[in-house]
Amino acid sequence: MTPESKIAIAGLYKIFGPDPAAALPLVRDRGIGKTELLEQHGHVLGLDNISMTVRQGDVHVVMGLSGSGKSTLIRHLNRLIEPTAGSIHVDGTDIMDLSPRALRHFRRHRASMVFQRFALHPHRTVLGNVAYGLRVQGVKRATAEARARGWIERVGLSGFEDRFPTALSGGMQQRVGLARALATDSDILLMDEAFSALDPLIRTDMQGVLLALQAELRKTIVFITHDLDEALRLGDRIAILRDGAVIQEGTTPEIVMRPADAYIADFVKDINRARVLRVKAVMTSDRAGARGPAVDAQTTLEEALTAFHDDPSGRRPVSREGEGIVGSVGLPEILRAIERPDISGSDARVTPQARAAG
């Protein structure tokens, strides 16, 4: 385990049905697939040999369509669902070994959760909801409420402390949900399709709220979504789940420029690559022949195009904050990256630089 690894999932299986333990060897040792398991053995394969590492301070997005097992997976991270087999180490401790008491401590202090349909307590006010995690920890009411007020302000809900959740719009309710999760000061945030139930505009707004908070708090966030745009906007790393198995895991450019199979390629084919990909993913470290003003490595390809208005055939130097010039970029690479990948020949298009940028 690398030192920066926060959550390490290894060999995780979840099988639903009357006798999961008996069905496990069929899947693990004989490689029976989801469909056959259901039709011939009457069990549902929820998670199929998941192994994944979440790094400290990352927003780790797990993306998949409904039924892919993503909500099941995130519920294993705080053991709302018990696995059939496998381990989940958080900071080196296997949470499967926790006693009920230790598990409660883990849920109170280490990992808090935000839910797709908010799941607020209808009989508590906004203040009562945000303070709930602290109250469960045993913090005195006055202290808990004072801290809760701070978080209510941070998520922009000042003035609504004494309202009940039913009086709030969906977006506001989820701000309460977010504040409730942040208030416990846990270092891990589990977000289960947290913004999926919101209107598109509110969703974008909430993504902005989350990114702003994350820039300061640097929590380890596992974010579940079925929305690729959301995944690309929020994720430091993205894992794509299908039929309970991870079919690709990597950084945004890796997923976009090097989809592992036709399924993912189909997913990413309609996104605006120029806006999602950044110069750092296509640049070369060779700076010979680069002229003109430097382009920042963090610039999106869309913005970088403007640097080539006057001299389309030349190369521009690429700078990185704190490191100066680190390489160069030219129009051909940018155009290749923006082009839709052809699945069969996708490997041929991947530049060594793109691999390195992962």
Partner 1 sequence: MADPNWLIDFPAIDDATLRAINRAIDDAYLGFTRTFGAAIEDAFLPLLRLMVWVEQMLLGAPWWLVIAVIAGLAWAASRRPALVGLVVGSFLFIGIMGMWEDTMRTMAMIAVCTLMAVTAGIPIGVLMSRSDRLKGAVVPVLDVMQTMPSFVYLIPVVMLLGLGKVPGVLAVVIYAIPPVIRLTDLGIRLVNEEVLEATDAFGASPWQRLWGVQVPLALPNIMAGINQTIMMALSMVVVASMIGVKGLGQPVLRAVTNQYFAMGVLNGLAVVLLAIIFDRLTQSYGRRLQRYRDDA
Look at the block and give the residue holding tokens 């793109």.
354
- Exposed/middle/buried for 176, CB within 10 Å: 0-12, 13-18, 19+? buried
Residue 281: CB atoms within 10 A of its CB come to 25
Residue 284: CB atoms within 10 A of its CB come to 18
Residue 56, Ramachandran bin (φ over 0: left; ψ between -120 and 50: alpha; else beta):
beta
| 220 lies in the binding site for partner 1 (CB under 8 A) | no
| 119 lies in the binding site for partner 1 (CB under 8 A) | yes
The least distance separating partner 1 from the CB of residue 184, rounded to whole angstroms, comes to: 7
Q: Looking at 6-14, 47-55, 100-108, 229-237, which segment touches partner 1 (CB under 8 A)?
A: 100-108
| 106 lies in the binding site for partner 1 (CB under 8 A) | yes
Q: Which of 46, 133, 253, 330 binds partner 1 (CB under 8 A)?
A: 133
The least distance separating partner 1 from the CB of residue 119, rounded to whole angstroms, comes to: 4
Each residue 175-214 as x (binds partner 1 by CB under 8 A) or -, in order, gives: -----x---x-----x------------------------
> What are the structure tokens assigned to 296, written together?
């920042």
Cα-Cα-Cα-Cα dihedral sign, residues 157, 160, 165, 166: negative
Look at the block and give the residue holding tokens 């195009």.
305
Q: Which of 28, 163, 226, 336 binds partner 1 (CB under 8 A)?
A: 163
Beta strand segments in 133-262, E: 188-192, 220-225, 237-242, 245-250
| 115 lies in the binding site for partner 1 (CB under 8 A) | yes
| 16 lies in the binding site for partner 1 (CB under 8 A) | no
The least distance separating partner 1 from the CB of residue 187, rounded to whole angstroms, comes to: 15
The least distance separating partner 1 from the CB of residue 246, rounded to whole angstroms, comes to: 23
Each as own residue / partner, the long-range contacts of residues 259-266 (CB below 8 Å, 24 or more positions apart, any chain) are 259/341, 259/343, 259/346, 261/343, 262/343, 264/240, 265/341, 265/343, 265/346
Q: Which of 137, 196, 204, 251 binds partner 1 (CB under 8 A)?
A: 137
- Exposed/middle/buried for 270, CB within 10 Å: 0-12, 13-18, 19+? exposed
| 355 lies in the binding site for partner 1 (CB under 8 A) | no
User: 98 or 305, CB closer to partner 1?
Assistant: 98
| 132 lies in the binding site for partner 1 (CB under 8 A) | yes
# binding residues, partner 1 (CB under 8 A): 30
CB 300 within 8 A of CB 236: no
Each residue 23-62 as x (binds partner 1 by CB under 8 A) or -, in order, gives: ----------------------------------------
| 83 lies in the binding site for partner 1 (CB under 8 A) | no
Distance CA(328)–CA(351), nearest Å, equals: 14
The least distance separating partner 1 from the CB of residue 177, rounded to whole angstroms, comes to: 8
Site residues (vs partner 1, CB under 8 A): 78, 80, 103-109, 112-113, 115, 117, 119-123, 132-133, 135-137, 163-164, 166-167, 180, 184, 190
